[in-house]
Chain A
Amino acid sequence: MHDGKSIGKIPDWLLQSSGESSNGIENRSRAKTHFLRRTLKNIAGVLENELYCEKYAAKDSFLQIIDPRVKLCIFLAFLVFGGMAGKLAVLTVLAAVPIVYAGLSGLAVKDFFRRIWLVVPLAVFIVSLPGTSSLLIRGRPLFYLLPPGGLGLKEGLYFSAGGLGTAFRLMLRTGISLSFAFLLFLTTKWSKITAGLASMHLPPLVVSILNMAYRYLFLLAEIAQGMMEARYLRTTGKLKLSDNRHFMAHSAAYLFVEGHFVSEEVYEAMCCRGYTGNAVGLSASRIGQKDFIFLTMNAVILFLLIAGEHLK
């Protein structure tokens, strides 16, 4: 009946059919608001992660009932050992330990595996591949990517067993570290982790800052999310790169200003409730029999792993 030109002031996109119109805007905005969508995704990830962790940390399963101090010590010991171990077999066994614990603690093992091993360790493995190829690590070729003489490379491009071993070692160490960190967080509430750190003689000031930073992280995240969503929904047409940069910088500055004012309000609220400079925690946990059993069993596992590392 009508075309966009005949109507004059009404833009063309408004006159298109709903499906076509929304796709068109989506496609155009994708090219211009990439940074906004990535920022929104990052912030949503923070909020989603918190919900995900809360869901599992509140359970009453195996690792959830272990004292956070014991878990911290044991996991740190595994981490340090993982950092020093060199044998691939030992590292593989160590990598399996958190997966078993995850299963026994009621976590979704498949999801746990996907969240940990298919992101950072995989990226580490891929990034380390050029460095572990024959470009930097030579040895008996296991398989060739380029035959000798290809692309002017006299010896070709190949992977040796030693080179691939280095790449796998890097990936396993990264994954092991992530696994234990996630396992601790997924089975322990943040307040209990910081209470555990406090009982391990971390200064009360540091513990208070950690607790409050974690709490207000979500408040600031929501403010930031609001700003990004508002901008994303209002963005039409072509915007200059410099304008977008300024928007992001001004958003960061606004967030700082907002945080600064919130901190003053928080301080006043704390004073109203009788804050005198020392924060007092309510949770007081005691190490019980189950913790001793957990400690002993893990000490045995660690001993076996150390023995495996030193076997000829």
Chain B
Amino acid sequence: MHIPDGYLGPQTTIPGFAVMVPAWAVAFKKVKAKLERKNIPTLALCSAFSFLVMMFNVPVAGGSSAHAVGAVLIAILLGPWAATVSVSTALLIQALIFGDGGILSYGINCLNMAVVMPFTGYYLYKLIAGKSKIGSSRNIAASFFGSYFGLNIAAFCASVEFGIQPLLFQDAAGHPLYCPYPLSVSIPSMLFAHGMVAGPIEGILAAAAVTYIARVTPQIFSGNAAPESAGPVSFFQRYRNILIPIIAMIVLTPLGLIASGTAWGEWGTDEIKDALGYVPQGLASLSDQWNALMPDYSLPALGDGTFGSVAGYLLSAFAGILLISALIFLMSRLVTKGRKGTGRK
């Protein structure tokens, strides 16, 4: 993913620097505040670590090997801003001394590998890991997926940067001035290579490294991980992972008003009559058996206007979820009560 000079036009690489300068400024400020005066040796060692991790060849199937980037691993251990500083420094040394990645493309390389990768990977890791204990199965899975997707999202960004070159920069004869591969080639080829080989390697390295550090020196995670005993937690905190999606679903239910027509198979007798010209006798008799409390997700008391419809949808969703949750809760109590009783005996 180290883009060499020549593949991207200056009109792409210079904006890369324009984006990175404020990102570096914020990163240094944040990291300085977090690590205080210890920042220089810690960040220097992390940069050296980042550099060396890119030299670690991890075996892949078929006897070959591939190297990892380690940006998400550093983000998990020290936070995403520290990863930005460390990976940027490592990339600068690589570009200047080893010619790995260009000088003009340094800004773009940093954007991909020192910003996009650690930030997307880290927040995905946080989302999956939640409040799980460092080194737990969920936490390790989160490290794997965070690293895997962080790398692939960064690779996607790089592929877009490659792919837009032939669209943007051509000579008078229409020949591409920089990377010749269009988006239709660059995106699949980059994502295939990173999704199948480099991504799993990145994920495995991060997950195994997190497991190792959690066992050997868990104190390194301090500041980035949730405390193990956080004291009493509120109802919302405890069930946040369930409640947030449910609330989001309730809020989104009025979207049903936008849809025209009726879902297939959910026709009322009026709609069946319009479509077929008659209502089957059995259906007509059955339809009168049950009158819903809130017909068509509306309450007569709220009126027929937009407000009434939206409020009706929300109330219906809320009532439905409450009813179903109560049933599931009751069922779980009945099931676990029996199991606990057996256990005590």
Check if B104 sits within 8 Å of A79, measured CB to CB. yes
Check if A83 sits within 8 Å of B212, measured CB to CB. no
Interface string of A212-242 (1 = CB under 8 A from B): 1111110111001000000000000000010
CB neighbours (8 Å) of B204 from chain A are 245, 249
CB neighbours (8 Å) of B55 from chain A are 39, 42-43, 46, 224
Check if A181 sits within 8 Å of B93, measured CB to CB. no
Which of A76, A83, A136, A219 touches B9 (beta carbons < 8 Å)?
Answer: A83
What does DSSP make chain A's interface, helix, strand, loop or mixed? helix
Interface string of B45-89 (1 = CB under 8 A from A): 111110111011111010111011010010001000000010001
CB neighbours (8 Å) of A211 from chain B are 44
**What is the minimal beta-carbon distance from B183 to any residue of chain A, in angstroms?**
12
| Residue of chain B at shortest CB distance from A270 | B41
Residue A171 is within 8 A (CB to CB) of chain B in the complex:
yes
Known: A259-B48, A260-B220. A35 touches B42 (CB 8 A): no
Known: A34-B65, A80-B104, A136-B180. A39 touches B57 (CB 8 A): yes
Residue A106 is within 8 A (CB to CB) of chain B in the complex:
no
Q: Please measure, in the bound complex, the distance between the C-alpha atom of A137 and the C-alpha atom of B22, giving whole angstroms.
A: 38
Interface residue ranges of A44-93 to B (CB < 8 Å)? 45-46, 49, 53, 76, 79-80, 82-84, 86
Check if B45 sits within 8 Å of A139, measured CB to CB. no
Which of B52, B92, B175, B210 touches A166 (beta carbons < 8 Å)?
Answer: B175
Interface residue ranges of B1-54 to A (CB < 8 Å)? 4-7, 9-10, 13, 24, 28, 32, 37-49, 51-53
Interface string of A192-216 (1 = CB under 8 A from B): 0100000000010110111111111
Check if A249 sits within 8 Å of B58, measured CB to CB. yes
Q: Please measure, in the bound complex, the distance between the C-alpha atom of A42 and the C-alpha atom of B177, giving whole angstroms.
A: 33
Interface string of B175-213 (1 = CB under 8 A from A): 111111110010000000000000001001111111011
Query: Interface residue count for A (Cβ, 8 Å)?
Result: 92
Interface string of A267-284 (1 = CB under 8 A from B): 100100001010100000
Q: Please measure, in the bound complex, the distance between the C-alpha atom of A291 and the C-alpha atom of B48, giving whole angstroms.
A: 33
Known: A39-B57, A131-B181, A209-B47. A34 touches B63 (CB 8 A): yes
Binds B, one of A145-153, A172-180, A298-306: A172-180
Check if B177 sits within 8 Å of A166, measured CB to CB. yes
Check if B43 sits within 8 Å of A209, measured CB to CB. yes
With A173-B6, A270-B41 already in contact, 17 other A-B pairs whose C-beta atoms are closer than 8 Å: A38-B65, A86-B171, A166-B176, A167-B180, A173-B5, A177-B4, A178-B4, A184-B96, A206-B28, A217-B47, A217-B51, A248-B58, A249-B204, A252-B56, A257-B220, A264-B41, A267-B42
Give me the 5 closest cross-chain CB pairs, A-B, nearest first. Answer: A173-B6, A249-B208, A212-B44, A177-B5, A131-B180
